[in-house]
Structure 1
């Protein structure tokens, strides 16, 4: 057993109290044993009986699945997990086979914060523990057995660019491993520059500008050896510390600085996401942050990384849940988070960790949770011997969630929008090349089953019974067989359900997918959308249909025979996501294009102008300043400024120079004072947020939409 010296480094999520236990104790691994036997599947119900059951229970959840609302295409690297040099099971055939069977296609090495103390040449990590038989060649053999691409973390904290370049040479020139993905360091913003220090960093200058300059040097040295590799830089996930903070002596945040100085030298950015939450319910609700967080990150890349920033991908190489990590909340969170992140274009999502070790033992939803952040049991016990984990390599609940996600999101599938009106039931959908549609349903309600009615938009299912797999609370295997049919399913409490449905038959080959659209000439009320033409299938293309994605069925904005469309009657300062579908002369539709998201502008000219700024941010709150200018020749005697927060986790805590009031997400700022003709008044407030801080983009003064400056 290896104890306290490794408490800091087993996971690099030390900044969040909710997941501190992940780095508590390295796994004390017993001798290898086979994984526990899978539970027997329940007897399949007849289709008639299933239909009768579904129809007899009133559906309380409606699931809208819209294939016209395309999202991302699933890459081969999508399903990932971390592998660490302190794990004595690294590379063992039993573990590699379990990972392969769960659909893992990317493995990260040498493991979290250990990356910044690890020296590959002599396989040492001064100040930490290195397990026997975990060197780089062993890891690569395991990756090949799994069928997974490696993602390797080059040592930034105590290493050099030359050391990293030599590693690339050994891997790809000497041994022909073809290791493509290399990240420079791990959570290097945790080096003390922002006050918290858990990441090793020997550089005298610990600023983001120093990290960025070293990233450039590392990238040049490594690509001089193998120009085909992809190099990644460490950023922070919007909404997670230290996002938004500008440290003393810096002229921007960590992300802004790294992207501005190193954007031209990198191929992807690497972020971690530990959303926290004091209860299982709160932790599971945090997946609603994903869309805004990834969009803000993409906007930062596009704004600061310079020309060609669109080539820069996003990897998310550590995530887990802080409550119930090895029981059902872990499985539910994993399925929801992986799906949501992949929908938003992240090219790999990686769970922390394969093994991690016993932590704080508790009971979650009737099951013993060992506080273990691993996919597989380490087989260890508490120090006093009072509680022991299951046998070594027994899969925990998140492993089964990963198994279902790999079956849901297969490489080449197109993820499409699916949603419900119930926050306790989330839905995801993917379209396959053979026409099948997979729907993943997550019931986060620990106490109640829900009956889900499925509605399909732009796609018609056949009458054939769907294939159904599920993972239930306390289960030790994924089960096959469900309760329902193509129109609905009963979702047991705290469960994952995967349905695979077949399409109604069509004999015509559809048009090919149109290219990703782009927006031009965006104003407050209009946007011109254009896209590369689709290639015809069995019949000529008759038209293109443009859809706006919404929570339910997409809204058709219009159609055209060309490849340009002007959307009109839009709302100022509002975000729109649109897709394009080609339809042939026989009425057969193509797959949806990839999505385009844009935000309409404020009016170019108005009777008022608002300048809104975040002037001082501390990670979960900020000071906001608002300047209101009266652009008319007459004073405004008494005024009300109104705006709406883009999310439900933002609020005004206090304000000055006016009366501030928030109802729901709408903020009203009122004053009896006058704004002079062509004059400006300034007000301010303290705001708080518990997720990505998306600033408002539209403001009205006494009902008039203002321009922004």
Structure 2
């Protein structure tokens, strides 16, 4: 049997992944008495996304001979996997389902669609199927829908059109099969429309997904010759009205990139809103391939597992409806020692029992769980479908925290210690929630462990986290009074300006006492900051900061002081003044994935200026100034100062000048939004 193939990735992306090494996992060992407790803050009033039914997923591939094994399905069920993707990455674009063939690739016996569906049903997972875009047709995809949902009654809801189709050579790198003469995003989008029409004609209930590039990951931001914009802009503009979700893939190449997720997802939502047309809010986001992508730092050992738990929780908290690990079985790669254990360079959840080419090293027996398997088990035990994420944070870079509020009032907190040699005591403070006295339920997994330990121990407000560990504590509320109000409905934001926003929501259902008022909170780090209150179902928030992203929840309080759960969040970004003495327009003129050429047009709308200074701030720590021209550019920390040159310092009323720069970035590129000219905030266009 041939060696199980690894996932295909663009050389450019892999090269960047190698450069993105883990910020040092090792820290100097400290005496126990010298370790300062880590402060963990959990605020139940700062609600985030609800946990979806399909949240914890993974990929199955047709070259995996154990795809249909009962043991495999049972292990995935025990891990809490609720979605399985088929037929496997780039193989999707060479796979023909009707005769179970993949010309140019290896197809293992016992991996056909019916076998896959049998395993998915045994696991209790929904299926996501990737229809063949590269070498297939809309008619072939529609026939697959008919067979799956009409003939067999499988009820497959989610259907992707192709896999990483931007990797067809249009941007230089070619790893994805594509027989279309036209490799452009416009051709992909037109074909997605044809697929969607044909597939929904068979079963109008299916959901169709289109491939996007992931913000700050190649080839995001690039525009090829002849295109009307980037891949995402073109695909969303043409196919947006026909699709139900978009597809991202993420191999960050380092183990400490969860902080990129909120901006990654927010930028994707902004693109959907800007380009997908009317009703774009219906379009979901699926992360159908995720892996740390870091063979040098641990793919199947504990550091990779901790990164997986952190990323899954962060992606789901930001509203992604599925995160799908690559892969169930993948195969042996470069063998190293990581955190005291053998790392086989295997991107799978379960061992393939493969050996190196010289036979000197072999993986453990087939289906032995690797460390990331326990990360999925931990996440599925921590965040169950129907729970709602709430804000949690820590004051230490080595410790991360996530929290969910359960329908029964319990609160679960996931704590991750990425230090390889230091146990960190943590103190947990709660807002909007009073923990019961007594020991909580505790789930824990430590470096090298072959199971998740379960106990009832310790305190709800303090715990010591072993090195390289993930721990979930489930805390009961101090009291659970009956008859509380229900959560207010989904808030919306309108008439957003630089300093104000009108927020409205459907009324909450009253409990045993009437609702007295609604309180409006803004998520500010791990703390919910109250913006105001009202007896009605709308509120105008004032004194907001220009150019700032706000996430807002509403709670209902009854006449006896009883409080409802928090509403779903609404997120909006304030602008800059509608008018002013100056106007600034920033454009990204060309982009190459980790840098771009920016042009800033400055217009003086006020009295004549002789000499000007422009200030702005980089929104994120991973952004910096490379160079600048037509002015004197300097950077201090995140602040950028731009001073006129002798030839462009005079700006009469109505006059403009243009300056340029090279901006560097290594994460989602959130463009600066607020500029001041000689101390005055400008209108931004």
Fold match by TM threshold 0.5: yes
2:366 aligned counterpart, secondary structure:
coil
Alignment of 1:485-496 (within 5 A): 485-496=459-470
* Residue equivalent to 1:28: none
Q: Confirm or deny that 1:694 pairs with 2:670.
A: yes
Task: Identify the match of residue 211 of structure 2 among 209, 234, 254.
Answer: 234
CA–CA distance in structure 2, aligned partners of residues 571 and 316 of structure 1: 32
* Residue equivalent to 1:667: 640
CA–CA distance in structure 2, aligned partners of residues 605 and 453 of structure 1: 48
Task: Identify the match of residue 48 of structure 2 among 71, 91, 95.
Answer: 71
* Residue equivalent to 2:194: 217
CA–CA distance in structure 1, aligned partners of residues 289 and 642 of structure 2: 41
2:256 aligned counterpart, secondary structure:
helix
CA–CA distance in structure 2, aligned partners of residues 222 and 306 of structure 1: 21
Q: Deviations over 1:13-56 (max 9, x none)?
A: 665216999xxxxxxxxxxxxxxxxxxxxxxxxxxxxxxxxx99
- Tell me: CA distance 1:413–1:105, structure 2 relative to 1, closer, same or farther (3 Å): same
Task: Identify the match of residue 190 of structure 1 among 167, 182, 196.
Answer: 167
Q: Deviations over 1:236-286 (max 9, x none)?
A: 11111111111110011101111100011111111101111xxxxxx2221
Gaps of 5+ in 2: 19-31
The answer to whether the Cα contact below 8 Å between 2:189 and 2:238 also exists between their aligned partners in 1 is: yes
Task: Identify the match of residue 646 of structure 1 among 619, 631, 635.
Answer: 619
* Residue equivalent to 1:620: 594
How far did residue 190 of structure 1 move?
0.3
Task: Identify the match of residue 533 of structure 1 among 503, 507, 528.
Answer: 507
The answer to whether the Cα contact below 8 Å between 2:301 and 2:338 also exists between their aligned partners in 1 is: yes
1:485 aligned counterpart, secondary structure:
coil
- Tell me: CA distance 1:56–1:650, structure 2 relative to 1, closer, same or farther (3 Å): closer
CA–CA distance in structure 1, aligned partners of residues 375 and 633 of structure 2: 45
Q: Deviations over 1:380-415 (max 9, x none)?
A: 111111111111110000001110000011010011
Alignment of 1:272-671 (within 5 A): 272-276=249-253, 283-321=254-292, 322=294, 323-481=297-455, 484-634=458-608, 636-671=609-644
How far did residue 610 of structure 1 move?
0.7
How far did residue 552 of structure 1 move?
2.9
Q: Deviations over 1:548-569 (max 9, x none)?
A: 1111321111111011111111
- Tell me: CA distance 1:159–1:374, structure 2 relative to 1, closer, same or farther (3 Å): same
The answer to whether the Cα contact below 8 Å between 1:60 and 1:452 also exists between their aligned partners in 2 is: yes
CA–CA distance in structure 1, aligned partners of residues 621 and 7 of structure 2: 34
How far did residue 57 of structure 1 move?
8.6
CA–CA distance in structure 2, aligned partners of residues 57 and 404 of structure 1: 30
Task: Identify the match of residue 69 of structure 2 among 92, 108, 120.
Answer: 92
CA–CA distance in structure 2, aligned partners of residues 129 and 702 of structure 1: 65
* Residue equivalent to 1:116: 93
Task: Identify the match of residue 81 of structure 2 among 101, 104, 108.
Answer: 104
Q: Confirm or deny that 1:682 pairs with 2:655.
A: no
1:474 aligned counterpart, secondary structure:
coil
How far did residue 506 of structure 1 move?
2.8
Gaps of 5+ in 1: 22-54, 277-282
CA–CA distance in structure 1, aligned partners of residues 9 and 68 of structure 2: 22
CA–CA distance in structure 1, aligned partners of residues 367 and 15 of structure 2: 25
CA–CA distance in structure 2, aligned partners of residues 97 and 254 of structure 1: 39
Q: TM-score, normalised by structure 1?
A: 0.92
CA–CA distance in structure 2, aligned partners of residues 351 and 386 of structure 1: 28
How far did residue 627 of structure 1 move?
1.1
Tell me the matched-pair count.
666
CA–CA distance in structure 2, aligned partners of residues 15 and 125 of structure 1: 26
2:174 aligned counterpart, secondary structure:
coil
The answer to whether the Cα contact below 8 Å between 1:625 and 1:685 also exists between their aligned partners in 2 is: yes
Q: Deviations over 1:441-460 (max 9, x none)?
A: 11111221111110101010
1:653 aligned counterpart, secondary structure:
strand
Task: Identify the match of residue 178 of structure 1 among 155, 159, 162.
Answer: 155
* Residue equivalent to 1:44: none
2:315 aligned counterpart, secondary structure:
helix
Q: Confirm or deny that 1:80 pairs with 2:57.
A: yes
The answer to whether the Cα contact below 8 Å between 1:14 and 1:20 also exists between their aligned partners in 2 is: no
Q: TM-score, normalised by structure 2?
A: 0.95
* Residue equivalent to 1:160: 137
Q: Deviations over 1:63-102 (max 9, x none)?
A: 1111111101111111100000000001100110000000
Larger mean CA deviation between 577-586 and 667-676 belongs to 667-676
The answer to whether the Cα contact below 8 Å between 2:439 and 2:456 also exists between their aligned partners in 1 is: no
CA–CA distance in structure 1, aligned partners of residues 417 and 17 of structure 2: 27
